[in-house]
Amino acid sequence: MTTIGLIRHGITEWNCLGKAQGISDIPLNELGREQALSVGQRLLQEGNWDLIVSSDLRRAVETASIIGSLLNIPLTYDKRIREIDCGQIEGTTEEERIMKWGTNWRKLNLGMEKFEDVSNRGVEFVEELASTYNGKQVLIVSHGALIGLTLQKLLPQVFQKTYIDNTSVTILNNCNGEWNCSLYNCTKHIS
């Protein structure tokens, strides 16, 4: 069995302000660093992790680096697990989007990456990891939309909707090509 632990990055100032981050390279804030330390301490007690793969965006890299230093395991980066590209809405709040484009802004073409494209690259990535690291325990540090859309595509009967908290832990298991989710969006380390 291959185990994949999906971790959303720690909180940022833009998260606190309600701004769409997308592929903007925003760092963690102090609370985000504390959250990363907490999830790292938790993961030290839960499982024998072999590797961390992180998005190459700074908020994920910082989170993964903190976790990796505690677990003392290799860390690599992959841009395929970046957050959804939010196009023109990056850096804006919901209120600002409504003021600029109206209440139907979601129906406009504002350069946002399609959800299906995000879910496809997420599923391809976890399936590649499960094949390459068969029998191992691998952590992925990524982003809320990427993780949520991947779960919805991988296990549609389980995840019609998702919400992913900062530094939450979601555990996927792959046994003989079959996926299941044994833990979803768990934040007991910061609750």
The residues carrying an active-site annotation are: 9, 83
**Residue 23 CB: number of other CB atoms within 10 A?**
18
* DSSP type of residue 81: G
Q: What is the C-alpha to C-alpha distance for residues 150 and 122, in angstroms, rounded to an integer?
A: 5
What would you report as the CA-atom Rg of the chain, rounded to the nearest whole angstrom?
Answer: 16
Question: Quick one: CA dihedral 164, 183, 172, 5, positive or negative?
Answer: positive
Tell me the C-alpha distance between 145 and 163, whole Å. 8
